Amino acid sequence: MELRPPAVRALLEQLEQLPGVGPRTATRLVQHMVRAPQPSRRLAEALAHVADAVRHCSTCFLLTEDDPCPVCRDEGRDRAVICVVEDPLNAWAVEATAEFGGLYHVLGGTLDPLHGIGPDELTIAGLLDRVRSGGVREVILATNPTVEGEATAHYLARALRPLGCAVSRIAFGLPAGGEISYADSVTLTRALAGRRGMD
Please determine, for residue 190, whether its predicted confidence score (pLDDT) is greater than 90: no
Nearest of 159, 153, 184, 188 to residue 173 by alpha carbon: 188
What are the pLDDT digits (tens) for 122-154? 999 999 999 999 999 999 999 998 889 999 999
- Alpha-carbon distances of 121 from 29, 74, 112, rounded to whole Å: 34, 28, 10
pTM: 0.85
**Residue 55 identity:** R
Please determine, for residue 46, whether its predicted confidence score (pLDDT) is greater than 70: yes
Q: What angle do CA 140, 122, 139 make, to 5 degrees?
A: 15
What is the C-alpha to C-alpha distance for residues 176 and 105, in angstroms, rounded to an integer?
27
Helix (H, G, I), strand (E, B) or coil at 117: strand
The reported pLDDT for the residue numbered 192 is: 79
Q: What's the rounded mean pLDDT across residues 157-175?
A: 91
Helix (H, G, I), strand (E, B) or coil at 139: strand
The reported pLDDT for the residue numbered 199 is: 60
Q: How confident is the model at residue 198 (pLDDT cuts 50, 70, 90)?
A: low
What is the C-alpha to C-alpha distance for residues 73 and 63, in angstroms, rounded to an integer?
14
What are the pLDDT digits (tens) for 19-45? 999 999 999 999 999 999 898 899 999
| Phi, psi (deg, nearest 5) at residue 121 | -85, -10
Mean pLDDT for the chain overall: 92
Domains of the chain, CATH where assigned = 10-51 (1.10.8.420), 77-167 (3.40.1360.10)
- Alpha-carbon distances of 47 from 23, 42, 50, 145, 179, rounded to whole Å: 21, 9, 5, 32, 41
